[in-house]
């Protein structure tokens, strides 16, 4: 291991708030601590949660007394917050300032202060943005200014990298792709929690907002009104909840559509294991953590083919559909058909096993009849109206996932900033495990005939563990830190020129921050700032 680094994670979004960015910061910080580095988190106060707090394994969190302006974000002032940011960064002797989320005003401001202090800066972009509406234009301009002062940027998918490069006008070599991960030890399958008697549960877990495609979900649910034994479990809350409740009332499906509302992240697994199929209807995603968590719990995943989602999971674990009601409905039918066929094969095998045990007790032997009960045929296209004569066949227990992991088709590029992603390289339409071309429902006649076979829940968990784990994410992030630490710090003239290229009037924020820091240096020099004491770990 190289030298011990001191990293400061900065974002408006952290615990007790719950979300993908919060999970990413916490899990990455925990893994960096396990690897021997010093990590502190910088965020704003959440109600009574203010001051300095210590979390698991000594993770130190600064909840700064800054008022929230809008949607859990502070108001960037370039003056009021600079003294606090400077004090924390110098007191903790930070080497790298790592900001998260383009929505976080605190991250943008801390990265600017870090650059003016001569520290190395890294930014992780977790979202995709458009170019047309006013909010996207303002966010893109703010991101462009911030990235002009940042040493390196990280995106969670290749499509996210392309989006960031275009909207922030940043050089490609300054952007790396490092995907998210999931704790597969937490999200483990438990088939015993699933209903019996042929009932199939379809789980949806997301914020109930327009961007998550809840209008599409509201159009899909009524299609199953006359289909027995198909239930929906919806986790999440938001302005679109009223729409789902209205659809449930109109279709008289109160006993088949369960809306749980907001659920703590620690309890999401308990809901996922009750389901057989997970549906994601997002209209835009850079990387969807929910589908990885569902796959880790052994659910079949049906998702819209938008943003970076096609890069996330191999064909065995996901059915992709265009963001269209008919396409999503067809993909769900295929998933249902696959599950029922698997159950049918399992019952046949169970019956044959009982018969074999009875024959052994009687002392008789059954001649081989060549019946390949272990061979599992999944006619993925039948339910969606495809050719029943064409099917995907996979031998049960033939080690398909292991061979894929060994031969590199489901592997990951271990180099930070590499162009490989765990499930699929950008532009590669080969199935990472199932072979054949990726099938997208609604893309002009595809019927799902090339979809891969369904794996057992525990095999799904093992496969996700090989694709995504936090140790790999941390190691690749450390390589980015090592890279930026070897670079020289930006000079003031370079920062002024970079910001001027984005717009002359943005120089006001940089100049005000610079003179505020100069004033603080005169009033309270660095030499008078007491360094933070590190808590000593008790020997085990």
pLDDT tens-digit map of 272-286: 999 999 999 999 888
In what helix (H) or strand (E) does residue 51 lie, and over which residues does it extend?
Answer: strand 51-54
Q: What is the pLDDT of the chain when averaged over all its residues?
A: 81
| Residue partners of 363: CB distance under 8 A and separation at least 6 | none
Alpha-carbon separation of residue 244 from 13, 172, 239, 249, 322 (angstroms): 28, 42, 10, 9, 21
What's the start-to-end Cα distance of the chain, in Å? 22
Which residues touch 150 (CB under 8 Å, ≥6 apart)? 99, 111, 115, 121, 122, 123
Give dist(CA 150, CA 380) in Å, integer: 47
* Whether the Cβ atoms of residue 299 and residue 275 lie closer than 8 Å to each other: yes
Q: Hey, what are 488's tokens?
A: 């020289």
CA–CA distance, 352 with 245 (Å, rounded to integer): 46
Integer Cα distance of 483 and 476 in angstroms: 11
**CATH topology agreement for domains 6-181+470-528 and 184-338:** yes
CA torsion angle for 261, 264, 269, 274 (degrees, to 10)? Answer: -30
Closest CA to 41 of 3, 12, 70: 12
User: Closest Cα partner for 200 from 277, 290, 294?
Assistant: 277
Q: What is the pTM of this model?
A: 0.74
Sign of CA dihedral 495, 498, 499, 500: positive
Q: Which two tokens stand for residue 196?
A: 């019996």
Cβ atoms of 234 and 258 within 8 Å: the answer is yes
Along the 540 residues of the chain, how does pLDDT read in single tens digits?
A: 567 899 999 999 998 887 788 889 999 999 999 999 999 999 999 888 889 999 988 899 999 998 887 767 787 776 788 999 999 999 999 999 999 998 898 999 999 999 999 999 999 998 887 666 777 778 888 889 999 999 999 999 898 899 899 888 899 999 999 998 988 889 999 999 998 888 999 999 988 988 899 999 999 999 999 998 999 999 988 899 999 999 999 999 999 999 999 888 888 999 999 999 999 999 988 888 899 999 999 999 999 999 889 989 988 889 999 999 999 999 999 999 988 888 777 667 666 766 777 777 766 555 444 443 333 333 334 444 444 433 333 333 344 333 333 443 333 343 344 444 455 443 343 333 333 445 677 765 444 434 555 678 889 999 999 989 899 999 999 999 999 999 998 999 999 999 988 877 788 888 999 999 999 999 999 888 888 887 665 554
pLDDT digits (tens, 9 = 90+) for 355-367: 777 777 766 555 4
Phi, psi of 236 (to 5 degrees): 130, 165
Which pLDDT belongs to residue 259? 95
Long-range contacts formed by 443-446: CB under 8 A, 24+ apart = 443/305, 443/322, 443/327
Of 300, 318, 298, the C-alpha closest to 190 is 298
Contact 472, 181 (CB under 8 A): yes
Cβ-Cβ contacts under 8 Å for 173 (sequence gap 6 or more): none
> 3-class SS at 440?
strand
For 184-338, CATH number? Answer: 3.40.50.2000
- Beta carbons within 8 Å of 379's beta carbon, 6+ residues apart: 337, 341, 386, 388, 390, 391, 392
* Residue-range domain boundaries for the chain: 6-181+470-528, 184-338
Angle between helices 457-467 and 400-407 (to 10 degrees): 10
Fold for domain 6-181+470-528? Rossmann fold (3.40.50)
CA-CA distance, 38 to 30, in Å (whole number)?
10
Buried b (16+ CB within 10 A) or exposed e, 471-490: ebbbbbbbbbbebbeeeebb
Residue 286 has a pLDDT of: 84
User: Cα–Cα distance between 308 and 492 in angstroms, integer?
Assistant: 37
Distance CA 380, CA 470 (A): 33
Structure tokens at 61: 């969190």
Q: At what angle do helices 105-116 and 507-523 cross, to 10 degrees?
A: 60
Q: Which helix (H) or strand (E) holds 321?
A: strand 318-321
Q: What is the widest separation between alpha-carbon atoms in the chain?
A: 96
Give the integer Cα–Cα distance in Å for 99 and 373. Answer: 54
- The C-alpha atoms of residue 379 and residue 387 are separated, in whole angstroms, by 9
Instruction: Report pLDDT for 107.
Output: 93
């Amino acid at each position: 291991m190289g030298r011990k680094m001191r990293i400061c994670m900065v974002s408006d979004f952290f615990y007790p708030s719950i979300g993908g960015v919060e999970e990413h910061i916490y899990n990455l910080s925990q893994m960096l601590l396990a690897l021997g580095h010093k990590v502190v988190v910088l965020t704003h106060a959440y109600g009574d949660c203010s001051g300095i707090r210590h979390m698991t394994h000594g993770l130190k969190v600064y909840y700064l007394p800054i008022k929230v302006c809008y949607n859990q974000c502070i108001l960037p002032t370039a003056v009021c917050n600079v003294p606090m940011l400077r004090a924390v960064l110098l007191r903790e002797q930070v080497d790298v300032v790592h900001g998260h989320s383009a929505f976080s005003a605190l991250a943008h401001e801390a990265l600017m202060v870090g650059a003016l202090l001569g520290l190395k800066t890294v930014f992780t972009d977790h979202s995709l943005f458009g170019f047309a509406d006013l909010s996207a234009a303002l966010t893109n301009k703010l991101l462009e200014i911030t990235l002009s002062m940042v040493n390196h940027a990280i995106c969670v998918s290749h499509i996210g990298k392309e989006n960031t490069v275009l909207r922030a006008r940043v050089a490609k070599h300054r952007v790396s792709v490092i995907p998210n991960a999931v704790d597969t030890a937490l999200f483990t399958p438990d088939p015993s929690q699933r209903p019996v008697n042929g009932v199939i549960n379809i789980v949806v877990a997301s914020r109930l907002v327009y961007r998550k495609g809840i209008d599409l979900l509201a159009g899909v649910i009524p299609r199953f009104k006359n289909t027995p034994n198909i239930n929906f479990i919806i986790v999440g809350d938001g302005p679109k909840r009223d729409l789902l409740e209205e659809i449930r009332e109109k279709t008289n499906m109160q006993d088949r559509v369960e809306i749980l509302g907001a659920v703590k992240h620690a309890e999401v697994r308990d809901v996922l294991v009750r389901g057989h199929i997970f549906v994601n209807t997002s209209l835009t995603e850079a990387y969807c953590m929910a589908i990885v968590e569902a796959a880790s719990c052994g659910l079949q995943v049906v998702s819209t083919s938008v943003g970076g989602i096609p890069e996330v999971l191999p064909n065995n674990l996901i059915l992709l559909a265009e963001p269209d009601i008919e396409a999503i409905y067809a993909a769900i039918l295929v998933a249902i058909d696959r599950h029922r066929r698997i159950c049918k094969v399992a019952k046949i095998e169970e019956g044959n096993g009982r018969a074999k045990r009875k024959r052994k007790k009687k002392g008789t032997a059954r001649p081989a009849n060549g019946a390949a009960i272990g061979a599992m045929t999944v006619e993925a296209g039948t339910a969606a109206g495809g050719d029943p004569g064409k099917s995907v066949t996979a031998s049960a227990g033939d080690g398909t996932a292991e061979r894929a992991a060994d031969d590199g088709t489901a592997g990951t590029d271990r180099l930070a900033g590499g162009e490989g992603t765990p499930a699929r390289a950008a532009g590669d339409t080969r199935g990472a495990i199932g072979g054949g071309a990726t099938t997208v429902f609604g893309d002009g006649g595809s019927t799902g005939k090339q979809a891969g076979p369904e794996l057992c829940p525990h095999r799904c968990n093992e496969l996700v563990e090989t694709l995504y784990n936090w140790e790999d994410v941390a190691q690749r992030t450390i390589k980015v830190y090592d890279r930026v630490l070897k670079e020289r710090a930006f000079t003031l003239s370079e920062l002024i020129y970079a910001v001027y290229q984005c717009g002359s009037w943005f120089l006001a924020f940089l100049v005000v921050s610079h003179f505020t820091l100069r004033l603080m240096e005169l009033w309270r020099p660095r030499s008078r700032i007491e360094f933070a004491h590190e808590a000593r770990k008790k020997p085990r």
